[in-house]
Amino acid sequence: MDIATVVGFILAYVVIGAAIMMGGPFILFVNGPGMLLVIGGTFAVTLMGVTMSDFLGSFKIGLKGVFYKLDVPQNLIEESVELANVARKEGILALEGREISNSFLERGIGLCIDGHAPEIVKNLLTKDINMSINRHTVGAGMFKSMAVYAPAMGMIGTLVGLVQMLSNMSDPASIGPAMAVALLTTLYGAIIANAFASPLADKLILISGYEKRNKDMILESITGIQEGTNPRVLKQMLMAYLPESKREVEE
Amino acid sequence: MDIATVVGFILAYVVIGAAIMMGGPFILFVNGPGMLLVIGGTFAVTLMGVTMSDFLGSFKIGLKGVFYKLDVPQNLIEESVELANVARKEGILALEGREISNSFLERGIGLCIDGHAPEIVKNLLTKDINMSINRHTVGAGMFKSMAVYAPAMGMIGTLVGLVQMLSNMSDPASIGPAMAVALLTTLYGAIIANAFASPLADKLILISGYEKRNKDMILESITGIQEGTNPRVLKQMLMAYLPESKREVEE
Amino acid sequence: MDIATVVGFILAYVVIGAAIMMGGPFILFVNGPGMLLVIGGTFAVTLMGVTMSDFLGSFKIGLKGVFYKLDVPQNLIEESVELANVARKEGILALEGREISNSFLERGIGLCIDGHAPEIVKNLLTKDINMSINRHTVGAGMFKSMAVYAPAMGMIGTLVGLVQMLSNMSDPASIGPAMAVALLTTLYGAIIANAFASPLADKLILISGYEKRNKDMILESITGIQEGTNPRVLKQMLMAYLPESKREVEE
Amino acid sequence: MDIATVVGFILAYVVIGAAIMMGGPFILFVNGPGMLLVIGGTFAVTLMGVTMSDFLGSFKIGLKGVFYKLDVPQNLIEESVELANVARKEGILALEGREISNSFLERGIGLCIDGHAPEIVKNLLTKDINMSINRHTVGAGMFKSMAVYAPAMGMIGTLVGLVQMLSNMSDPASIGPAMAVALLTTLYGAIIANAFASPLADKLILISGYEKRNKDMILESITGIQEGTNPRVLKQMLMAYLPESKREVEE
Amino acid sequence: MDIATVVGFILAYVVIGAAIMMGGPFILFVNGPGMLLVIGGTFAVTLMGVTMSDFLGSFKIGLKGVFYKLDVPQNLIEESVELANVARKEGILALEGREISNSFLERGIGLCIDGHAPEIVKNLLTKDINMSINRHTVGAGMFKSMAVYAPAMGMIGTLVGLVQMLSNMSDPASIGPAMAVALLTTLYGAIIANAFASPLADKLILISGYEKRNKDMILESITGIQEGTNPRVLKQMLMAYLPESKREVEE
């Protein structure tokens, strides 16, 4: 698990909380109806734009984006090269029953063992990659929508508060606090968008890119194994997926 | 019918309504001329940017986006595999007169029965897919336009109100309420954009993507049936359109 | 002629005019120098970004976008199928001198009669399509620029007015009206952008898409005629350009 | 030279200047430190984002965008057809030493005379086209950056002024003028962005598109000449690059 | 090293600093908690959206973007042509052990010497190019994120300050200074975004484009060397990567 998202999340709220508490009581910033409006409203309009199963699934995807452990490419390369060695010497059927750590690699090897033609294996695995990217894109898209709707809901709350305040200005002393309350929803919206929804969407897109790179690499290694490519050449082909710095350590 | 849009819609207005009523009388937020300006103006300038038939058609598409029932991919796969089984054993003409639940699948099978060449069938069905995506895009685009124009109309209304208020400030007591009224159009615009037009456009685009996926899958199954692909292989090809979690249940 | 743009345009100004007049005298909203700044300034900076002939041509394109009559696809299909029938029975030269309602179809048939090879006909017509799309894109782009520059000019006018007002606040009674005047340019900019330039750009892009669809269809029918495709098959190929609802009426 | 940019530029500043002078003394709008901040700051941060040679080169490109004379496509077509005629009758070497008005056409003909294979000629000229588009894109991009940074610098200046004003409000009479001064930088930023940098970027992109069209046309004519295409067919191929209206005059 | 970024950076802060100091004491603009919020918060939410290793790596990439020395294309061409000459006369193995100034060129030549087939060499080097572009894109993307989040954090800080000020307006004299302090975070956010993060992202993208051009050129020269292209032709192919002005000097 990469801790960046968790560390960043905690840090962001510590910093914002500190800024709030250094200037006065925290309670000034708590407003039940405003929170209900911004959080509830953001969820409601986000829900409007998706299907129920996407809505529920996206939170699972969001959690995965935070806690999911991506396979280290170097290990995948090593495992693939080993499989290629075995397949070359003893035939592809020798891979049957072998334990494979990565499920996508396992599925691909399984298809080879089942005797499917290379172009069908490639077609099936490519669709798999597209499907999983698509799912991540929908998930990231939902958090992006939340990052758009949260500030809008905050503005709606502030406008509601301003209209109420302006309609009744008989007591000048209450104007300041009323306006403070009105501004709170804008603050809530800005925090939800910038310290939750938008960074999470960024992370999901990034993670999805890394997962795609891993799967592209696996697809190439499966094609190589099925076509009986020389394992040493295959290794060099796969190494090219790594940044130069990591490559040198391995070679 | 997926209930997300309806549930989200109701929830959004309940939440906004609650925020309004907790702070004072609801009547403060009702302003006839302002509503006329924002709603009428938004419709008017949206109409300017499309053709009359697109304008009317888009509302129908919008309703479809909310209430349309998408065929479950698993069922489409089962039906396609069954058709492939029959076609393989008894020839493609045996499919004539058979009841087919999905109209796009029916049209494709009909073209095969009519004896069109595979590349013509593919050409026709691909155009069908593009046409329907195009229609959805125009529909979603119109709601996106509304989401842009509604806040603009709200701002125009607020500017009109501010100019009128500022031109006549003889009675200080009326300034607050006059400004409250001026702000209402901005509020209306924000609500129309964020709790109606924009989420609806999101939904239409999402639904259109799912419909395209279904049709792509159907196109692949028709090609498979026409070319006499082994039904078991065809099933595996179609299964790849499902997310992994749903696939395992089926297999 | 599609009346949507004209109807929308009139409606928008009726609605905005009504909102203005319900709140006070219309004359409050008329400010000569402000109008000069926003309208003149918008035209000036838009002109900066194009060539003189594009500037003048774009207004012609804009008018075309409003008043141009698009050929009905159904009629084009009927005419094409008729031409295909004649060409098939009596040879392509039999089409010489025949009256053809659509100029693009006429040009294509003319090229076939002149005996050009199919790939040259296709090359020439494809370039024609690209050229006309390009011209529309430049035209729409100019109105989009105006939609960006008009609010900017409005803001510049408001800033000028604010600076003048703030520099001389000796008479408190004049502050309100001075600010009202300052806000007028922002209002003008918002109206020009949202109730003129931006919807017109939307319309031009939409119309351009429909014209492209018509021309793509004509290109396919000319290729079909030249290659001697069966007119019945050709009809079905062209029908695929229509939405399903309109197709059934025809078949 | 197309005068649109120069005319638009002068017009824009006349209109803005008039709006300023009709409301009071021009001197109110002159603020040395503010100008230094906005102009200097915009240049500084734009410089940060490019290389020194791009920075200097872009101004040259900007001037070219204003004053450069594009070859008239009709003349290029005539010249190309003439060259094709000569090459067809007397062989391509007969073109040696011939004066050619357009340098890109000259370079292409030169490569043909040198006896390079058609695919190498095409490869070299295509790279030339890409290089020149690339250079224009970098130039236009720099002016676009300026259009983004100028308002930001204006806002920074206004914030600096507001903080200074708000920190010292002992003399109420000075608040108005101080705020006027603070707003000036926002005004400067808006003018630089909207009446200089952004329209210039628009123009460069447009001009670059026209130059690309010219060069694509020249590339096609060089290929035609080298392959010995019939000059009459070649003319028709090149004519397709012109809008219909200009074509008819020529034919 | 190109000094544009360093010069621009220093200039920007000199100009902003001058604007601040000409209007009053610098100390007015220093606010510890505000800086902590904007800088800390921006880093925290940027960290949320990436992985830990991308976060750390991006600063290294950012520094490289400022201080990295790009190989001069003319020198690369000369070196490549020399290598091509040697390879043509004495065979490709004669390049073994030769000192090569550019590491990408060295790697490519190394692959040729190892006897890999041309399509494998191309495949490996193309992946290398994509990997390095990808890494730069991630780095630039992180600075772009910072440019988005910094103003958002600034706005959050200002809202926090405004709420605190408005909740307690008993002492009118303190309102101005309190608001000044509240505005500071917006100022910090604007400066970080516009005079640090955004220009740096611009630079990284530009530099990445130049590096890609260099590597594309090297890839073409390696292909040419391996295929035994005539060094004079190769030189002309490579020269096409240079702008015309620089080419003439070389020829």
How far is A47 from B4, CA to CA, in rounded Å? Answer: 6
Mean pLDDT of the residues in chain E = 91
Helices B175-192 and B118-167 pack at an angle, to 10 degrees, of 180
CA-to-CA dists, residue E229 to A227, E208, E224, E237, angstroms: 32, 28, 5, 10
Q: Structure tokens of D236?
A: 């028709």
Query: Chain A within 8 Å of E78 (Cβ-Cβ)?
Result: no
Q: What's the N-to-C CA distance of chain B in angstroms?
A: 26
pLDDT for E63 equals: 86
Q: What is the DSSP letter of A24?
A: S
Q: Which amino acid is at B233?
A: V
pLDDT for C183 equals: 96
Q: What are the tens digits of pLDDT across the range A71-114? A: 899 999 999 999 999 999 998 999 988 899 999 999 999 999 99
Which runs of consecutive H residues, i.e. helices, occur in B23-117?
32-35, 41-48, 52-67, 73-90, 103-113
- Please report which confidence band the pLDDT of residue E249 belongs to, taking 50, 70 and 90 as the band edges: very low
Q: What are the tens digits of pLDDT across the range D73-113? A: 999 999 999 999 999 999 899 998 889 999 999 999 999 99
Give the lowest-confidence range in A11-25, C59-73, E131-145, E152-166. Answer: C59-73
Percent with pLDDT over 70 in chain A: 98
| Burial of D63: CB neighbours in 10 Å, binned 0-12, 13-18, 19+ | exposed
Mean pLDDT of the residues in chain B = 91
Helices B198-226 and A118-167 pack at an angle, to 10 degrees, of 170
C-alpha angle with apex B82: B76 to B87, nearest 5 degrees? Answer: 120
Tokens 């888009």 identify what position?
B58
User: Distance from A97 to chain E by nearest Cα, in Å?
Assistant: 32
Q: What are the tens digits of pLDDT across the range B169-200? A: 888 888 888 999 999 999 999 999 999 999 99
pLDDT for C61 equals: 85
Q: What are the tens digits of pLDDT across the range C155-213? A: 999 999 999 999 988 888 888 889 999 999 999 999 999 999 999 999 999 999 999 99
- H or E element at residue D214: helix D198-226
pLDDT for C147 equals: 97
Which runs of consecutive H residues, i.e. helices, occur in chain E?
4-21, 32-35, 41-48, 52-67, 73-90, 103-113, 118-167, 175-192, 198-226, 231-239, 244-250
Mean pLDDT of the residues in chain A = 91
- Please report which confidence band the pLDDT of residue C251 belongs to, taking 50, 70 and 90 as the band edges: very low
**How many residues belong to chain A?**
251
Q: With CA atoms as reference, report the closest residue to D43 among D153, D199, D169, D135.
A: D153
Helices C198-227 and C52-67 pack at an angle, to 10 degrees, of 80
CA-to-CA dists, residue B149 to B189, E33, E137, angstroms: 8, 40, 34
pLDDT for B147 equals: 97
- Three-state SS annotation for C213-225: HHHHHHHHHHHHH
Q: What is the DSSP letter of B102?
A: S
Question: Which residue of B lies nearest to C235 if distances are taken between CA atoms?
Answer: B124
At residue B207, does pLDDT exceed 80? yes
Overall pTM > 0.90: yes
How far is B139 from D1, CA to CA, in rounded Å? Answer: 43
Nearest to A48 among B4, B176, B240 (CB): B4
pLDDT for A174 equals: 84
Contacts (Cβ under 8 Å, ≥6 apart) of C151 = C186, C189, C190, C193
pLDDT for D12 equals: 96
CA atoms within a 13 Å half-sphere pointing along the CA-CB vector of B234 = 27
Mean pLDDT of C139-153: 96
pLDDT for E248 equals: 54
At residue C1, does pLDDT exceed 80? no
Q: Do A49 and B198 touch (CB under 8 A)?
A: yes
**10 Å Cβ neighbour count for D238?**
23
* Cβ pair D182, D158 in contact under 8 A: yes
* Cβ pair B195, A149 in contact under 8 A: no
Cβ-based contacts of A61 with chain B (< 8 Å)? none
How far is A42 from B19, CA to CA, in rounded Å? Answer: 14
Query: Chain C within 8 Å of B186 (Cβ-Cβ)?
Result: no
**10 Å Cβ neighbour count for C208?**
20
pLDDT for E250 equals: 42
How far is E16 from E36, CA to CA, in rounded Å? Answer: 20
pLDDT for E67 equals: 82
- Please report which confidence band the pLDDT of residue A248 belongs to, taking 50, 70 and 90 as the band edges: low
- Please report which confidence band the pLDDT of residue E1 belongs to, taking 50, 70 and 90 as the band edges: low
Tokens 């002149």 identify what position?
C114
Report E:1-60 residues touching D (Cβ under 8 A).
2-5, 7-9, 11-12, 15-16, 18-20, 22-24, 28-29
* Cβ pair A110, B236 in contact under 8 A: no
Mean pLDDT of B70-80: 92
At residue A60, does pLDDT exceed 90? no
pLDDT for D249 equals: 46
At residue B135, does pLDDT exceed 90? no
Mean pLDDT of C8-32: 93
Question: Which residue of B lies nearest to A36 if distances are taken between CA atoms?
Answer: B15
pLDDT for D143 equals: 96
* Cβ pair E28, D75 in contact under 8 A: no
Query: Chain C within 8 Å of B64 (Cβ-Cβ)?
Result: no
Q: Structure tokens of A188?
A: 């809530």
> Which sign, positive or negative, has the C-alpha torsion B128, B134, B136, B139?
negative
How far is C249 from B36, CA to CA, in rounded Å? Answer: 39
pLDDT for E109 equals: 94
**10 Å Cβ neighbour count for A75?**
11
pLDDT for B39 equals: 97
Mean pLDDT of A128-135: 89
Q: Do A51 and B176 touch (CB under 8 A)?
A: no
Q: Structure tokens of B242?
A: 């499902």
C-alpha angle with apex C18: C14 to C19, nearest 5 degrees? Answer: 120
C-alpha angle with apex C178: C172 to C184, nearest 5 degrees? Answer: 155
At residue C248, does pLDDT exceed 70? no
Query: Chain A within 8 Å of E145 (Cβ-Cβ)?
Result: yes
Mean pLDDT of A150-157: 98
Q: What are the tens digits of pLDDT across the range B113-128? A: 998 999 999 999 999 9
Query: Chain C within 8 Å of B152 (Cβ-Cβ)?
Result: yes
Helices A4-21 and E41-48 pack at an angle, to 10 degrees, of 150
pLDDT for A6 equals: 93
Q: Which chains touch E (3 or more CB pairs under 8 A)?
A: A, D
- Three-state SS annotation for A130-142: HHHHHHHHHHHHH
Which runs of consecutive H residues, i.e. helices, occur in chain C?
4-21, 32-35, 41-48, 52-67, 73-90, 103-113, 118-167, 175-192, 198-227, 231-239, 244-250
Q: What are the tens digits of pLDDT across the range D25-79? A: 999 999 999 999 999 999 999 999 999 988 998 888 888 878 878 889 999 999 9
Nearest to D51 among E28, E206, E236 (CB): E206
- Three-state SS annotation for A74-114: HHHHHHHHHHHHHHHHHCHHHHCCCCCCCHHHHHHHHHHHC
Give the lowest-confidence range in D17-31, E46-60, E167-181. Answer: E167-181
User: Distance from C149 to chain D by nearest Cα, in Å?
Assistant: 7
| Burial of A27: CB neighbours in 10 Å, binned 0-12, 13-18, 19+ | exposed
- Three-state SS annotation for C11-68: HHHHHHHHHHHCCCCHHHHCCHHHHHHHHHHHHHHHHHCCCHHHHHHHHHHHHHHHHC
pLDDT for D1 equals: 63
At residue B245, does pLDDT exceed 80? no
At residue B250, does pLDDT exceed 60? no
Q: Do A45 and B194 touch (CB under 8 A)?
A: yes
Q: What is the DSSP letter of E193?
A: I
Helices A118-167 and B175-192 pack at an angle, to 10 degrees, of 170
Give the residue, B174 or A165, on which the prediction is more confident.
Answer: A165
ipTM rounded to 2 decimals: 0.91
Contacts (Cβ under 8 Å, ≥6 apart) of E160 = A16, A19, A20, A23, A29, A187, E37, E182
- Please report which confidence band the pLDDT of residue D235 belongs to, taking 50, 70 and 90 as the band edges: very high
How far is B82 from B42, CA to CA, in rounded Å? Answer: 50
Mean pLDDT of the residues in chain D = 91
At residue C230, does pLDDT exceed 50? yes
pLDDT for A9 equals: 95
Nearest to A152 among B184, B194, B202 (CB): B194
Return the SS3 of E36.
helix
Q: Do E200 and D116 touch (CB under 8 A)?
A: no
Query: Chain D within 8 Å of C117 (Cβ-Cβ)?
Result: no
Rg for chain B (alpha carbons), in Å?
26
